[in-house]
């Protein structure tokens, strides 16, 4: 699928990146959609984002929004992955009430991945799915859901070639 085959796309920063202004069937919790296209092979990735989720410094509201989506994905694609949660070694944001601050400063990661590489039976064209909680401040965050298709490596190759040609 190519950009000219989809109505309601608006080009955004980055090569091959578009925003879908009016998704045909959006999930109520994931209204913002970006699509990434490979020039060679078409649609390579879909990234959906929640609205800003108000939460406590402990991340309770963000974790609840994240878990709601994780349960729906597990129901559709299999229970599969556990949460990958880690805090960078040496982070000073290691107390429970620092959960959101560490997430905001990219010192904490909280995500799940469903992938064919891990033996999951995903639809033919989907290589992997990632659900990630992202901190925007100490009291707000967003949930991102990404679907990478089998041709995503074409897109990354094109990006690397473009970067190298700029040298």
The domain ranges of the chain are 3-165
Burial degree of 44 (CB within 10 A; 0-12, 13-18, 19+): buried
The answer to pTM > 0.75 is yes
Per-residue pLDDT 10s for the chain (167 aa) are: 888 788 888 998 777 889 998 888 888 899 899 999 998 899 999 999 999 999 999 999 999 999 999 999 998 888 767 789 999 999 999 999 999 999 999 999 999 999 888 878 888 899 999 999 999 999 999 999 999 999 999 999 988 888 888 78
Q: CA 103, 107, 111, 116 torsion: positive or negative?
A: positive
């Amino acid at each position: 699928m190519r950009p000219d085959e989809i109505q309601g796309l608006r080009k955004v920063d980055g090569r091959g990146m578009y925003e879908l202004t009016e998704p045909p069937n959006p999930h109520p919790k994931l209204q913002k959609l970006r699509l990434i296209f490979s020039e060679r092979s078409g649609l390579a990735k879909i990234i959906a984002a929640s609205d800003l989720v108000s939460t406590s410094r402990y991340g309770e509201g963000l974790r609840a929004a994240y878990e709601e989506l994780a349960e729906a994905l597990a129901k559709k694609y299999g229970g599969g992955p556990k949460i990958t949660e880690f805090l960078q070694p040496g982070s000073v944001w290691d107390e429970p009430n620092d959960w959101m601050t560490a997430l905001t400063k990219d010192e904490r990661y909280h995500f799940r991945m469903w992938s064919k590489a891990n033996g999951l039976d995903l639809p033919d064209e989907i290589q992997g799915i990632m659900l990630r909680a992202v901190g925007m401040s100490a009291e707000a965050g967003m949930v991102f859901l990404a679907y990478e298709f089998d041709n995503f490596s074409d897109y990354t190759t094109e990006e690397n070639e473009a970067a190298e040609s700029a040298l």
